[in-house]
Amino acid sequence: MEKLHTTRMRSGFTLIELLVTMAVAAILVTVAVPNYQNFVLNSRMSSKSNDVLSALQLARSEAVKRNARVSVCKSAGGACTAGGTWAQGWMVFVDGGVAGTLDGADQPIQMYPALPGTSTLAATANASNFMSYQPNGLPNLAVGTSATLTLCPGVTGVMGRQIEIISAGRAHISPTACP
């Protein structure tokens, strides 16, 4: 009787297959990580610009609803400030006293925290410290003019966002190159 030898198939990877797989994975990671970082920064820029836009829209709608002047000001520690930048935070409040200042006649509506990291938020001269909306929903801008807030990420390679408020009261966001 002849003895048959059966060979078993062994499963697994050879060393060469493993090294090739690791080399391909390393190349993919090298390409993907910088793109992912840009994706995250772009997402943050969109989120923060939407926060600014939402504050402006809240101020406008509250002005109409309450039939009172409502302002958005740059804020540090819960109080409007003439110093510093918009990146330190901002707040929406019913402006019952002097326009753009938080005094005893005012009622805070909502506060927004400072921007994270190295992001900046700068404004044109007509919105340097505050932006007010009248009871009719119109901002404190001359007819035909606009105010602009520019949000920049503080790193190169990522587009910033520009929030423009026109004299009719509408605000919109558009991408912009940052310095």
Helix (H, G, I), strand (E, B) or coil at 175: strand
Determine what percent of the chain is predicted with pLDDT higher than 90: 42
> How do residues 93-152 score in pLDDT, each as one tens digit?
998 766 656 565 678 899 999 988 888 998 988 788 889 999 999 998 888 889 999 999
Domain membership flag for residue 3? no
> How do residues 41-97 score in pLDDT, each as one tens digit?
888 889 999 999 999 999 999 999 999 999 999 888 778 888 888 999 999 999 876
Which pLDDT score is estimated for 97? 66
Is residue 179 within 8 A of residue 65, CB to CB? The reply is no
Its pTM stands at 0.78
Domain membership flag for residue 1? no
| Unique residue bearing structure tokens 């926060």 | 51
Which pLDDT score is estimated for 78? 78
Domain membership flag for residue 63? yes
Q: Domain with 156 in it: what CATH number? A: 3.55.40.10
Which pLDDT score is estimated for 30? 85
Domain membership flag for residue 6? no
Which pLDDT score is estimated for 53? 94
Which pLDDT score is estimated for 25? 92
Helix (H, G, I), strand (E, B) or coil at 159: coil
- Please state, in angstroms and rounded to a whole number, the distance separating the CA atoms of residues 100 and 92: 10
- Please state, in angstroms and rounded to a whole number, the distance separating the CA atoms of residues 63 and 175: 28
Q: Enter the DSSP assignment of 139.
A: B
Domain membership flag for residue 81? yes
Q: Which residue has the higher pLDDT, 2 or 112?
A: 112
Domain membership flag for residue 2? no
- Please state, in angstroms and rounded to a whole number, the distance separating the CA atoms of residues 154 and 159: 10
Domain membership flag for residue 89? yes
Q: Give residue 158's pLDDT band: very low, low, confident or very high (50, 70, 90).
A: confident
Question: What's the structural domain count of the chain?
Answer: 1
DSSP string computed for 56-86: HHHHHHHHHHHTS-EEEEEEETTEE-SSS-G
Domain limits for position 63? 15-176
